[in-house]
Structure formats: structure tokens, C-alpha cells
Amino acid sequence: MEANSLETKEVAQSPTLLSTDALLEHWQGHRKLTRRVIEAFPEDQFYTFSIGGMRTFAQLTMEIVGLAAPGIRGITYGDWTFSEPVLDHSTPAPTTKQEVLNLWDLVTEYIETLWPQIDPNRFYETEAAFGMYENTILNTLLYLIDNEIHHRAQGYVYLRALGVEPPAFWDR
């Protein structure tokens, strides 16, 4: 995240394109697809299968969850501290896929609830996301979405290796 080089001044200088509503819909569309990838995993392989020493899809899912929940809170309120009941990056996965999906849905609702409270100017503010990654709020969010696409795609390879047809990439 450190190296993302989009600059606030450029955002302000050239015509703007993406609306806050469209950005939320873009994010939630990707989250819907990731949810379907979680669903597609056989229960046991979700927790155990990996390739080349990589994390299991349960662990990758928990990274996405553990960035999205404190992420939307930090984006909305500027509070990047971690405390219960907010998840962080190292929270272990619940022991059943259904509980992971329930957690996923909780985060989806949390995002829907907080989003309307975000001042649009907030997206241009530069802040150390998660207390570490100095960037504009917009770039931090785009990074979270890109990171989700990246790890979800690794799940696609796991599913293919397991002989399971993954959900269509274009279906949000």
C-alpha cells in the first residue's frame, strides 16, 4: 500500500468520474462475488487446501474480513485502532463456513450502515490507514478492493485445482 502513488492534487485537477454511490456498489459487487467463491468451497478444503505454501482460503477470507471491517470504520471515523468487537487482520476464522458467511454478511451490513455517514471530501484526505499506510482515503479503499480481487482470484485457482467450477468472474 505504501507505494500507491495517486496524488490528491491530481484528483483535484482532472475531471472526476466515479461517484460515491458507484464506488460503494463496485465494492459490494465484488464482495458478493467473493461470498460466492467462499460458498463454492468444499467445507474441509476451505480450511485446509493450499498451493505452494500459501494461506488457505479461510485465512485469505479472514484477511479480507479483517481489512474491510476496521477499514470502513477507519474510512468513516478516522479511528484506526483495533478493539473488540471490531475484527483485525489476525482474527482466526470461525470453525464452520456458515459462521464465516454470517460474519461476511455482518461486515456487508456494517459497510452499508457506515457508508452514508462518510463526507465525500473525506476521500481526498491523506491518512495513515490502519495506522501504517499513508495514502488518500480513496486510494486506501481502492487498495482494499484490489486486494480482495487478488486474494479471491487465488481462491479461483484453488477451486480449479480441486475440480470445482468457480462462479463467473463477471457476475456481481
Q: Is residue 21 classed exposed, middle or buried when 0-12, 13-18 and 19+ CB atoms within 10 A define those classes? A: exposed
User: CB under 8 Å to 3, separation ≥6 — which residues?
Assistant: none
CA–CA dist 7, 117 (Å, integer): 24
Residue 83 or 121 with smaller CB distance to its own copies: 121
Interaction site with its own copies (CB under 8 A):
1-7, 10-23, 25-26, 29-30, 51-54, 120, 123, 138, 142-143, 146-147, 149-154, 156-163, 169-172
What's the min distance (Å) between Cβ of 151 and its own copies? Answer: 7
CA distances from 76 to 113, 116, 153 (A): 10, 9, 28
Is the CB of 23 or the CB of 101 nearer to its own copies?
A: 23
The least distance separating its own copies from the CB of residue 43, rounded to whole angstroms, comes to 19
Rounded least distance, CB 101 to its own copies, Å: 21
Write phi, then psi, for 91 (nearest 5 degrees): -60, 130
CB nearer to its own copies: pick between 78 and 116: 116
Closest approach, Cβ 21 to its own copies, in A, equals 4
